[in-house]
A and B are shown apart, each in its own frame.
Chain A
């Protein structure tokens, strides 16, 4: 399908502006943060979608596309927009992402690659067995409807109360693992029914769990890496998943509710139904904000359960308590969330609802949103690469204020799933990765083929773009040796 490609104004080597005249209705220009190479590789629909975002009421400064941006539906993936909540600014489920609080968690160990590599098959198989993944995967814990409502209200804190983790896990989770404005009366029975059997499951698509290590030369900021407990040869576990069907149902329910009132009651017109929105201070907007917080909490809880299973598996294999294996959480960070934040716009401090869809918060040191552990350093930014190429840990930097403290979240796809499945073969990819020292356990061969490294952008180029534009800077890189795929 063809979309018009804009003429870009070059602001710098990594910032490209799309003028307001590109598409009717744009209230502000759009800015893409990318090297010229990445910009050229982006699908043209992403520019059409970011222009649609630029037309939403209350948007401030620019609609932003991050270096890993690609087309999604409604907002592009890798899209950022901030809305002034005191001047008609909106909230949009499609701008937050339907998998609410889809995000990344990084867990440390004291183990080295030499200790783990000989047992990688045993360990990966154990994780695959204890953490359900793939189509229709179901939870191993039984929850009542009342339990689920408490989870939606309390998030990770509920998990800790029930013994699924350590108190210190909360201190290194965004929002301390609990969005405290959540109101479970704002989510539907349908959302509860979809989520109740899916807690502690990884999901499918691009969701994964990886055992990774720090190769010699992979640490970029040795001082900060040491402070955060990272060392050469170290094994870490990184995983990516979200609020599963519950979060999706919450967003779907409110999208439908917003479509019913958006034009009639609030006179808002959008280019794509998936951009449906309501003023933040309207009843509908406030209801969704409270329901979204439930999705955020459900996702924190899901990742907390998964981390608990990871600790159990490592403990079983290495016959040591997880504490003695040094299995502390480094950080848990969302990349699909709206966050109420104060930012300077044209010299005025404003209350903004920052929508990040497929974008990680990248706060410079001192921002109140950063957990105390990291407040002097800046927020940790976890960027997951494709399963063949590795991942990055970065830190928020001062220049991110340009993008309302936002950066990339992953590699970003370049090839459609349908095309990737035609080109690549899951079994062959498995063998290729094995010969490269990566053991994969997947619920689906075709699902594996869709996630081949060649379906994604060049991770180094994405991370370079964030660093060159000053959105975030490298702390260290991780290479995968074991991977669980849904």
Chain B
């Protein structure tokens, strides 16, 4: 259970897969994969800032993309990156909603080992499904 980066397609971008026993955990691992694309030493992110927000999506896979794109928005506008995510995904009449509480800090080039910037989470080859062991998803990040 966790995330791994794939080598064999979308060669100009970064592709990851996540597995989790729970849907909430899946969203948490997905944000870890995003942050680990941005910097190498994720464990060194201090828990100095909090961010709480809600995102909505017509389907679960689009909700995941919306969630990741919100994190990219905070990275671009407030320089925030996150290490801890508490997510609660729920059905909201015809669509899905995620209540998100994240903790992290501002990017610091002196302490964070920068990797590559991410412009967006995309819908390309997007997959999110329930399986025997829980949930899995695949996301392509635009670099």
Q: A and B from one assembly?
A: yes
Q: Chain A interface (Cβ within 8 Å of chain B)? A: 1, 43, 45, 70-74, 77, 98-99, 134-138, 190, 193-194, 197-198, 203-206, 245, 248-249, 252, 255, 272-274, 413-419, 422, 443-447, 450, 486
Q: Are B123 and A274 in contact (CB under 8 A)?
A: yes
Closest to B9 in A: A1
In the complex, which of the residues B14, B117, B122, B126 has the most CB atoms of chain A within 10 Å of its own CB atom? B117
How far, in angstroms, from A83 to B75 measured CA to CA in the complex? Answer: 36
Taking the complex as formed, is B116 at the interface, i.e. its CB lies under 8 A from any CB of chain A? Answer: yes
How far, in angstroms, from A11 to B79 measured CA to CA in the complex? Answer: 51
Check A98/B142 contact, CB under 8 A, given A43-B11, A252-B69, A416-B11.
Answer: yes
How far, in angstroms, from A72 to B75 measured CA to CA in the complex? Answer: 23
Q: Are A417 and B123 in contact (CB under 8 A)?
A: no
Partner of B12, one of A72, A136, A197: A72
Q: Are B11 and A135 in contact (CB under 8 A)?
A: no
How far, in angstroms, from A104 to B5 measured CA to CA in the complex? Answer: 30
Closest to A486 in B: B117
Check A98/B120 contact, CB under 8 A, given A204-B143, A414-B11.
Answer: yes
Q: Are A70 and B11 in contact (CB under 8 A)?
A: yes
19 A-B pairs with CB atoms under 8 Å apart are A1-B125, A45-B9, A72-B10, A73-B140, A99-B119, A135-B38, A135-B39, A136-B81, A194-B77, A205-B117, A245-B119, A248-B142, A273-B126, A274-B123, A416-B11, A417-B143, A418-B5, A443-B114, A445-B113
Given contacts A77-B12, A135-B107, A206-B143, 19 further A-B contacts (CB under 8 A): A70-B11, A70-B12, A73-B13, A74-B124, A99-B119, A135-B114, A135-B117, A136-B114, A193-B76, A203-B117, A205-B117, A273-B124, A273-B126, A416-B15, A417-B12, A418-B7, A419-B8, A444-B114, A446-B40
Q: Are B15 and A418 in contact (CB under 8 A)?
A: yes
How far, in angstroms, from A1 to B123 measured CA to CA in the complex? Answer: 17
Partner of B13, one of A134, A135, A198, A417: A417
B1 cross-chain contacts in A, Cβ below 8 A: none
Those of B95-143 within 8 Å (CB) of chain A = 107, 109, 112-117, 119-120, 122-126, 140, 142-143
Q: How far is the CB of B11 from chain A (nearest CB, A)?
A: 4
Q: How far is the CB of B73 from chain A (nearest CB, A)?
A: 7
Q: Are A416 and B123 in contact (CB under 8 A)?
A: no
Taking the complex as formed, is B86 at the interface, i.e. its CB lies under 8 A from any CB of chain A? Answer: no
Chain B residues within 8 Å of chain A by Cβ, number: 40
Partner of B75, one of A70, A136, A273: A136
Closest to B39 in A: A135
B109 cross-chain contacts in A, Cβ below 8 A: 134, 443
Closest to A419 in B: B7
For the complex, would chain B's binding face be called helix, strand, loop or mixed by DSSP majority?
A: loop
Q: How far is the CB of B39 from chain A (nearest CB, A)?
A: 7
Closest to A195 in B: B76
Taking the complex as formed, is B47 at the interface, i.e. its CB lies under 8 A from any CB of chain A? Answer: no
In the complex, which of the residues A73, A248, A255 has the most CB atoms of chain B within 10 Å of its own CB atom? A73
B11 cross-chain contacts in A, Cβ below 8 A: 43, 70-71, 413-417
How far, in angstroms, from A446 to B116 measured CA to CA in the complex? Answer: 8
Partner of B76, one of A1, A98, A198: A198
In the complex, which of the residues B11, B72, B81, B114 has the most CB atoms of chain A within 10 Å of its own CB atom? B11
Check A444/B116 contact, CB under 8 A, given A135-B107, A194-B73, A198-B76.
Answer: yes
Closest 7 CB pairs of A and B: A73-B124, A204-B117, A136-B107, A416-B11, A273-B123, A205-B143, A419-B7
B9 cross-chain contacts in A, Cβ below 8 A: 1, 43, 45, 71, 416
Closest to B122 in A: A73
A486 cross-chain contacts in B, Cβ below 8 A: 117
Q: Are A416 and B116 in contact (CB under 8 A)?
A: no
In the complex, which of the residues B40, B75, B112, B123 has the most CB atoms of chain A within 10 Å of its own CB atom? B123
Closest to A1 in B: B9
Q: Are A135 and B115 in contact (CB under 8 A)?
A: yes
How far, in angstroms, from A43 to B124 measured CA to CA in the complex? Answer: 16
In the complex, which of the residues A194, A205, A413 has the most CB atoms of chain B within 10 Å of its own CB atom? A205
Those of B66-87 within 8 Å (CB) of chain A = 69, 72-73, 75-77, 79, 81
